[in-house]
Every structure is written in structure tokens, then in C-alpha cells.
Structure 1
Amino acid sequence: MTILTLPKQQVRIDQGELVGYLVDGHELIHKKGSPGWRNSDTEMFPIIGPTNEADFKVHTPKGEAVQDQHGLLRELKYELLEAADTKAVFEKRYQANTRIKNSKYPGKSTAPELFWPYDFNFKKSYHLKEDGLEICFEIEGEDGMPFMLGYHPAFSLTTEHPIIKSQKKEISIPEVMAVGSRALQVPNESSIILKDQLELTIKTEGFEHFMLWTEVPNMVCIEPITFYPYAVEQANLDAGFKYLNNSKPIVFRAFIHPK
């Protein structure tokens, strides 16, 4: 366990996963194993969304790749590169075409192995500051590598009527639950507010949109994304790709500001 601390704040990270964020004694992060979701945060990379209707195949400039829902990054393990009182850096490395065992097979998938036809390095860093927590994602890979990126944190809910506020509207938890597994799209937003036990502002850099997901009233996932995958048929998921330029890494950021 990696722990970051400042007065009135504590962040707990388990092998790269944000498993706790205490602010003034309030736990903001969904507890693993509680009703709703088995994780507390993860990443969606190099694709976002399900692929079962496309036989788990995704088109790339180097041919078809086999990916399960939300990509193969989550099947890899993080290596801790750096740890200090207020900062921690983790990394995952992948070599092109390496076959990765699919943890969803055979119970929830018919694809036993996943692969991606490009090398990449993926860094995830946490920086605890006086005004909140910054999570940074740095991607390096082959020139022209296609990708999508989504960050998938789950926030604990403890009040009777929490509200999510975008720039354009307010959204209730029952509204999010009603959408089901597809997740509710919040397009063209770089900031969103969750009003519950505390007021959390989630700000982003590099991500274009959010999507919201929960199937229970005790948690909600507020997910910065580069592309909303349900905007296209699964066979056309490549329409949502961004592309790497290997002259420099590409960086995305999410900030959690509690008050």
C-alpha cells in the first residue's frame, strides 16, 4: 500500500489503484467489495466500450486487434517507479502483439487472449496538493498508434439525494441508474461537480467528455473520456481514435478538488 498525506488529507493507493481518499475524515472513494462495483478506480485503454458485438475485434492501421470491454491495460500490473509523502508514480509497459490472458474468459467473454499491435508505456501519477488530488496519465508509444483513454474512478455516496452538476444541467443518481450499463453521456465538458457529503469538483485536461455510471445508490463513477463509445456501432469503434505522435508523450490530467 502506498500512502500520501497532507494535513486533513490522506490518499491510499494499492498497486496503482486509488482505493481511498480521506478528507477531514470523509471517505470519498467507493470501497472495493461494497455493492456496486468490485473496483475503486481503473483506466480504459487503448479502447473504451464493449466489443462483444464485433467479435472482440477492433480495427487499427496495423490490422485487427482483439480487445475486450475497455481495453487490455487493466489486465497488466503497475510497477511503482516513485513514492514520496505527496507523490507516487506507477507504470505499465506493453510490447506489441503480446498475448494477454483475458480475466473475463470464459465466464463473461469468449475471447481467451487479448493483444494490441503497438508498443506503449503508460504512466499514472498521483500528486496530493493543498487543494486536492491530481491524477496524471502519460502515454508513450509508436508514432501513429490509435487509442482512446478513459479514467474510471468510483465515488462513495452517503447522503439521501446527491446531485451531479455539469455546466448545462443537474443530474440525479436515479437518472444515471436508469441509463444502465451504457453510462450516461455528459458531452463537451471539462469540469463536473458532485454534491454529496462534501462538494467535489472534478476538472480535466485532455479529456473531451464525461460519462456517468452506477447501478446502485451508494456509489457513482464519474469518468473523464476522450470518446463516448456508444455513439457508434461496435464494429466502427475505431471512429473514436486519437493518434500518438512519437515526438513527445501525450498527457491527460484529472483533478479532484473537495470542499
Structure 2
Amino acid sequence: MKDIIELASPDKNSFAKIENGELISYLKNGEELIHQKGNPGWRSSDTEMFPVIGPTDSNNFKVSTPKGIAIQDQHGLLRELKYSVSSSNDTSAAFEKNYIANTVVKNSKFPNKSTEENLNWPYNFSFQKIYSLTNDSLKIEFKIESEVGMPFMLGYHPAFMLNGNLDEKVISDSTEVSIPKIIEGGSTAFPILNTNQVTLVKTEGQNIKIKTKGFNNFMLWTEVPNMLCIEPITEYPYVGEKMLNSQLFNSSKGAQKFSIYLNPFK
């Protein structure tokens, strides 16, 4: 049986469930805000993109780093690793993945969706995912420790439940994007760039304000009207001809934090 950790806010009006590090439920005043597995749209409810964002097949799955060529599939090898529980209590839970440089990782997309059976990365890293639930919000924080100078991109990929109404939308300070427009954007997703905050506006139930620290861009993706992925990202990768341009990568400072705050409201 898979391990599920349940969190409850101090006022008992908010609840979260995490299954092996994956956020599978966030209830606020009895309303489910997270896309449920088995519903149309996506087989997961959240995941991470690291150390690359976007497809790598156009580069023959090769990523150039200061330590040589690495083999990475779409959105990176982190999702192929398993989380272990670092700590948990009534309102918070911490999970961790550790990787030793050049360790071969089996690619779950091979052979049906990829030609690469094995993935690798030439740097050690430790990746923590920490949930903190309050009366008002759910915070998801990432702590990354690695060698100074390691190149990386980071994205968080949560899916939110919608009412199936095409009038629902995402707004920021500079733009407003409808669900049909996001669907039309296809696999490259719809970008909202140079902002650390967007709001999901629904026709019924609670809206969700999403604030970030360390990220400064978002991608929006869905193929169906009943769910929407709103993805904080360090960089939008679908720019220009070369998907893995070196300018898209951050350079590790050794230890860094990235945070997302989900704030439901009427």
C-alpha cells in the first residue's frame, strides 16, 4: 500500500493529502481544488521538472553541461527518482530525493515514448519538497543543494480542478487567458512571463491565487475543460530554435529555495 500523509490546518477547514510526495488532494471548506487521478486530462496531480524543462528529443536527448554531456528526457530525470519522508506533523511534511553524479536512472518512457533507456546527470544534488498548511494557504517549498555552478531549470507542475466551464480563466497583472486559448496552445503550453503571481478564476466555488518566490514565469496547459495545470517555472523553454539554450539555465549557488503559495478565496 502506498504511503499517504494527511495534513490539517489549525482551524480544521483545510486538509491536504500527499502520496509519496505527490499532492493528491487540497480541500478548502469541503471543496476539492486538485485534479483527481482517473478524471480526464492527466494521469497525475502534481510533479516537478528538474534539471530541465521541456522536450529534449530535438537535441537527441543530450544536454550540454560544464561537466560534459548528460542524457535527459522531457522535463528531466528527477521524476524518475522516489521521494523519502524526511519529517511530518499535523500541518507540514517534508520529502527528499538524492542523486549521486552519473548514476544511471531507468527511463520510464522507454521504449514506448522514448528511444533512451537510461538517463544520467553529471552532478550530485539533494532535492527537498516541503508542504506547510495554514488556515489560509498551502505552501510548497523546494530546497535544492548541489555543486556551485551546476546548470538547472526548475518547474512545479500542479493540476487544478475546474468546473468544466469554458468561461473560467487565469489572470495576471498584464493578461487574461481563457481555457479555450490555453487548450489551443497545445503541448508547448501558454506562457505568462515576468510575473510571480497569477489567479485562477472559476465560475463556481473558490478561486486560487498562486504566488511564487524564486520563479518568475508560468506555463498553462490542458487538453480538457475540467482541469488546468498552472506551472511556475524558472524559464519558459519554448523560445527560439534551440530548446536547450544555455541562457535558459540557472547556475546553482550551492543551496537555493523556491516557494509556491496556493491561496483559495471566494
Q: Shorter-chain TM-score: what band?
A: over 0.9
Is residue 175 of structure 2 the alignment partner of residue 172 of structure 1? no
Alignment-derived partner of residue 229 in structure 2: 221
Match of 1:203 among 176, 186, 211: 211
Over 3 Å counting, the alpha-carbon distance change for 1:44 and 1:124 in structure 2 is same
Alignment-derived partner of residue 250 in structure 2: 242
Q: Contact between 2:13 and 2:135, CA under 8 Å: does it hold in 1?
A: no
- Distance in 2 (CA, whole Å) between partners of 1:239 and 1:204 is 21
| Secondary structure of the structure 2 residue equivalent to 1:181 | helix
State the 4+ residue runs in structure 1 displaced beyond 4 angstroms. none
How far 1:236 sits from its partner (Å)? 3.6
**What RMSD in Å do the two structures reach over aligned CA positions?**
1.0
Normalised to the residue count of structure 1, the TM-score between the two structures is 0.97
- Distance in 2 (CA, whole Å) between partners of 1:237 and 1:120 is 22
Q: Contact between 1:58 and 1:65, CA under 8 Å: does it hold in 2?
A: yes
Alignment-derived partner of residue 9 in structure 1: 14
Deviations 1:98-117 (A, max 9, x none): 00000000000001000000
Alignment-derived partner of residue 39 in structure 1: 44
How far 1:72 sits from its partner (Å)? 0.2
- Distance in 2 (CA, whole Å) between partners of 1:235 and 1:84 is 41
Q: Contact between 1:51 and 1:234, CA under 8 Å: does it hold in 2?
A: no
Is residue 193 of structure 2 the alignment partner of residue 191 of structure 1? no
Deviations 1:26-46 (A, max 9, x none): 100000121111000000000
How far 1:234 sits from its partner (Å)? 4.1
Percent identity for Structure 1 against Structure 2: 52
How far 1:238 sits from its partner (Å)? 2.7
Q: Contact between 1:43 and 1:150, CA under 8 Å: does it hold in 2?
A: yes
Query: Tell me, which stretches of 5 or more residues in structure 2 are unaligned?
Result: none
Q: Contact between 1:58 and 1:235, CA under 8 Å: does it hold in 2?
A: no
Over 3 Å counting, the alpha-carbon distance change for 1:119 and 1:232 in structure 2 is farther
Match of 1:103 among 102, 108, 112: 108
| Secondary structure of the structure 2 residue equivalent to 1:178 | helix
| Secondary structure of the structure 2 residue equivalent to 1:107 | coil
Match of 1:121 among 109, 115, 126: 126
Over 3 Å counting, the alpha-carbon distance change for 1:236 and 1:10 in structure 2 is closer
- Any residues of structure 2 matched to 1:8-87 within 5 Å, and which? 8-87=13-92
Deviations 1:177-216 (A, max 9, x none): 0010000010101000001121100000000100100011
Query: Tell me, which stretches of 5 or more residues in structure 1 are unaligned?
Result: none
Q: What is the total number of aligned residue pairs between the two structures?
A: 257
Normalised to the residue count of structure 2, the TM-score between the two structures is 0.95
